[in-house]
């Protein structure tokens, strides 16, 4: 497997959750620590933390308030490798095996059918140009789905449990997953 970097998207406003999702508790640690551990178990040592909290080592959005594309845009230049796994902080049920399926193809942009994140992209002038246009344009397309369509992402069959690819965006969703999986 070729070397990969990862961008862990943890800089959102968590407006639907009402509190910073990255700081929710998964057992005795934060969701952020849980996801960082997942990336380490998946064999990724170069992890860029996209987080708008001003902490040392965290990469803040260059173009603020533009959602996940803002975090991807800011994080790409900090990645050491050309192939980059992008993962949101709010998918606590992901496993190394699921991420391994995305990381297995040796090249190209990859995602699961019916799920934009997590995904793998390749750093390129084409991707940077797309992100620059969308982030700086009034009415730009700010969805990860549109970015992946632009990149002609290969769509892999989802062989993992369906709940692995579900975001926990609201207190109700978080409580459901916390109770179901004994967080």
Whether the predicted model's global pTM rises above the 0.75 cut: yes
Over residues 102-124, the mean pLDDT reads 95
Residue 50 backbone phi and psi in degrees, to 5:
-85, 105
3-state class (DSSP) for residue 25? strand
| More confidently predicted of 13 and 9 | 9
Residue 118 preceded by cis peptide, ω within 30:
yes
- pLDDT exceeds cutoff 60 at 1: no
Residue 152: pLDDT band with limits 50, 70, 90: very high
Domain region containing 10: 4-180
Cα atoms in the Cβ-side hemisphere of radius 13 Å centred on 87: 35
Q: How many distinct structural domains can be found in the chain?
A: 1
- pLDDT exceeds cutoff 70 at 13: no
| pLDDT digit string, tens, across residues 62-90 | 998 898 999 999 999 999 999 999 999 99
Q: What CATH number has the domain bearing residue 153?
A: 3.90.550.10
């Amino acid at each position: 497997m070729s070397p990969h970097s990862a961008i862990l998207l943890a800089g959102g406003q968590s407006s639907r959750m009402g509190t910073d999702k990255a700081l929710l508790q998964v057992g005795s640690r934060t969701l952020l620590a849980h996801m960082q551990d997942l990336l380490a178990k998946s064999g990724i040592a170069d992890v860029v933390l996209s987080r708008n909290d001003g902490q040392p080592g965290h990469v803040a959005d260059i173009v603020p308030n533009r959602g996940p594309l803002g975090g991807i845009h800011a994080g790409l230049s900090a990645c050491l490798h050309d192939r980059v796994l992008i993962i949101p902080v709010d998918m606590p049920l992901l496993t190394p095996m699921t991420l391994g399926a995305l990381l297995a193809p040796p090249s190209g942009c990859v995602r699961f059918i019916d799920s934009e994140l997590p995904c793998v992209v390749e750093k390129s002038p084409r991707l940077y140009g797309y992100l620059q246009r969308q982030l700086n344009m009034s009415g730009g397309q700010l969805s990860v789905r549109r970015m992946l369509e632009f990149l002609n992402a290969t769509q892999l069959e989802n062989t993992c449990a369906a709940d692995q690819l579900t975001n926990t965006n609201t207190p109700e969703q978080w409580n459901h997953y916390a109770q179901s999986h004994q967080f």
